[in-house]
Amino acid sequence: MTDKMKFETPNLTTENVAKIAALFPGAVAEGKVNIDLLRAMLGEDLFADEAYEFTWVGKHAAIAEAGRPIRKTLRPCIEESKNWDTTENLYIEGDNLDVLKLLQESYLGKVKMIYIDPPYNTGSDFIYRDDFAQSREEYDEEAGVYDENGDRLFRNTETNGRFHSDWCSMIYPRLVLAKQLLSNDGLIFISIGDDEVNNLRKICDEAFGESNFRNQIVVRRGAKSVQAQFETWDKLGQGLEYILLYSRNQTYRFPRQMKQLEDEREGAWNNHWRGTDRPTMRYPLFGITPESGQWRWGKERSEKAIENYRRMLSELKVSEEEMTLIQIDEWYVKQQDNSLDLLRLSKNGKPEHYIAPTNTTLLNSSWVDLLVGSSSEISALFDTKVFDTAKLTPVIMRMLQFVPTDSIIMDFFSGSATTAHAVMQLNAEDGGKRKFIMVQLPEPCAPDSEAAKADYSNICEIGKERIRRAGDKIKVTNPLGTIDLDTGFRVLKLADTNMNDVYYAAGDYTQEMISLMESNIKPDRTDMDLLFGCLLDWGLPLSMPHIHEQIDGFTVHTYNSGDLIACFEERIGEKAVREIASRQPLRAVFRDSGFSSSPEKINVFEIFKLLAPNTTVRVI
């Protein structure tokens, strides 16, 4: 007849087994992989008795966790959002492991760039407690695992016997899931310190593929006071942090980017011959024709550059012997065309071309021209220090230059929401249409912190308020570039499934219980909760426009002009069903208990077969 919404995230392990079955059907039976048969099909030469391997206590459980399905949802919170109806940005509160699982269908292969700043595991960081060795029931009931707000955090100290293992188990499944969200030309940047950079590199090699490693970027961190730096005298002060850069696909190529130099570099003359061998680039120049190698430019460009050089001599009214490099630089800077070429014969009789003075250079993996973190930027927005050493927007804005201007940008350790701030700022500067997805656990603010004194109960409250304030400030300081600037965001909060899970023995049911079970939807859930649960189940993006309307007295929700039409009324009339079907949406969903009988339900599906045969109809 029709399918019910499953409201469960994909089982990645099952999907991987299906992929193996598609390639080697004989190696899979009843959902189980016959490893011995698979080895035989692949050839024994591909398997080694010994191999290099990076492992830790709990690794197998961490791998399994990435594929384990969950029954949770995201509940919209319109009252905490900004510009709900028009924004394409998302702010999601909750454990990022669960959120990443929920987004697998809706954002599979759609995210161009991910930036994360996970806990550095310095010995005082809070990290997520993912104790995969326990059953889920034991885990939920363990004393002290949750704080008073239900948050899954614990302080990972070096006295913990599984200090590095716990951190590796925490980050591994999140990176595996993040990879699935990246587009084929997507990138992930990960900030990290000395304590776990080596382990993170190995984990990323597994999650993204060693061939997709691009760079280990170094960036400058703020200097500690002399007293703090040498209070133990056991090591030199650390002036750098790292950003690991991986691509989703090894075919990705970087766009040309420049960075500012501290001091302007003077002009210089460079040998015009190069060793690469292209016969078409060997031609007479100053009476010289190279027998091997090539000239750097084509013949026409070189001849024009010689003319430009002679014109310069004429305008300066000096001879080659008298002319200085300073004079050449000053003349060049005054020219309207900063791509002007100059070519001459050097004193030792070799052609050489001029490299102009510049205050920029090609971007490389040294980003020490930028400071990675400081409380100054966020403190300027709040007039108090509500967050310690937040990342700074210039670092993230540089990352954003690596992907197209209409990209979806994600940060699932979003903290104070610097990434969202950077996205809005760069959109204002270059007219881009980047969208952001921020994910953050509502980690409580310390009671004695400046944030708590300013009435911020958790980090999410700081992040959301920062986006509001930063957006308002950007619109004031960049008025010409903010006409269509999206500074809003939809707030969604991680929650248990919208559906009741009821398990009783057959003899335990009473008539009252049976009547209550006519609707399997939790009584506190709204139409919006159900709508967004359906979006996740169907794999639709969460930032599209939607409207609510009355059709024959029933509330009907239309999402993104007909991608989905939903009616969650307890009863729905045939006239309303016919009107919905006549609009021929791609998908339609109704409450199962909205039909008084099986014949009535069958009639609804027959109406869709007649009026909208291509519409997929489901019930909840």
**136 or 437: whose pLDDT is higher?**
437
Q: What is the mean pLDDT of residues 242-271?
A: 85
Residue 297 CB contacts under 8 Å (≥ 6 apart), including other chains? 272, 281, 305, 341, 353
Res 145 pLDDT > 50: no
Q: What is the mean pLDDT of residues 405-426?
A: 97
pLDDT band, residue 191 (cuts 50/70/90): very high
pLDDT band, residue 503 (cuts 50/70/90): very low
Model pLDDT for residues 53-88, shown as the tens digit of each residue:
899 989 999 999 999 999 999 999 999 999 999 999
DSSP class of residue 178 equals H
Report the C-alpha gap between 481 and 2 in whole angstroms.
Answer: 49
Report the C-alpha gap between 526 and 545 in whole angstroms.
Answer: 18
pLDDT band, residue 132 (cuts 50/70/90): very low
Model pLDDT for residues 152-185, shown as the tens digit of each residue:
555 555 555 466 888 999 999 999 999 999 999 9
Res 398 pLDDT > 50: yes
Share of the chain above pLDDT 70, in %: 86
pLDDT band, residue 135 (cuts 50/70/90): very low
Ranking 84-88, 148-152, 467-471, 592-596 by mean pLDDT, the lowest is 148-152
DSSP class of residue 222 equals P
- Ramachandran region of residue 320, left (φ > 0), alpha (ψ -120 to 50) or beta? alpha
As to burial, measured by CB atoms within 10 angstroms (0-12 exposed, 13-18 middle, 19+ buried), residue 581 is: buried
Res 590 pLDDT > 50: yes
Report the C-alpha gap between 313 and 328 in whole angstroms.
Answer: 9
pLDDT band, residue 223 (cuts 50/70/90): low
Residue with tokens 């969650």: 568
Q: What is the mean pLDDT of residues 336-357?
A: 87
Which two structure tokens, joined as six digits, stand for 609? 């077969």
Report the C-alpha gap between 600 and 615 in whole angstroms.
Answer: 19
Helix locations, 459-611, DSSP H: 459-477, 511-516, 527-538, 574-582, 598-611
Quote the Cα angle for 418-422-426, to 5°. 175
pLDDT band, residue 138 (cuts 50/70/90): very low
Distances 379 to 220, 382, 387, 462 between C-alpha atoms, Å: 20, 5, 8, 11
Ranking 12-21, 48-57, 236-245 by mean pLDDT, the lowest is 48-57
Q: What is the pLDDT of residue 511?
A: 52
3-state secondary structure of 83: coil
Which two structure tokens, joined as six digits, stand for 92? 């999601």
Q: What mean pLDDT is reported for the chain?
A: 87
- Best-predicted range by mean pLDDT (110-119, 221-230, 254-263, 287-296): 110-119
pTM: 0.81
pLDDT band, residue 400 (cuts 50/70/90): very high
Which two structure tokens, joined as six digits, stand for 584? 């021929």
At residue 128, what is the residue type?
Y
Q: What is the chain's Cα-based Rg?
A: 31
Model pLDDT for residues 258-280, shown as the tens digit of each residue:
777 766 777 889 999 988 888 88
Model pLDDT for residues 14-23, shown as the tens digit of each residue:
888 888 888 8
pLDDT band, residue 140 (cuts 50/70/90): very low
Residue with tokens 């702010």: 91
Strand 616-619 relative to strand 587-590, pairing: parallel
Report the C-alpha gap between 617 and 542 in whole angstroms.
Answer: 20
Q: b/e per residue, 198-232, with b = 16+ CB within 10 A? A: ebbbbbbeebbeeebbbbebbbbbeeeeeeeeeee
**451 or 150: whose pLDDT is higher?**
451
Dihedral sign for Cα atoms in the order 496, 497, 499, 505: negative
Question: Which stretch of DSSP H or E encloses residue 294?
Answer: strand 294-295
Res 421 pLDDT > 70: yes
pLDDT band, residue 286 (cuts 50/70/90): very high
3-state secondary structure of 39: helix
Which two structure tokens, joined as six digits, stand for 486? 């999206």
Report the C-alpha gap between 507 and 40 in whole angstroms.
Answer: 51
Q: What is the pLDDT of residue 150?
A: 52
Res 481 pLDDT > 70: no
Residue 117 CB contacts under 8 Å (≥ 6 apart), including other chains? 190, 191, 391, 411, 413, 415
Cβ atoms of residues 459 and 445 within 8 Å: yes
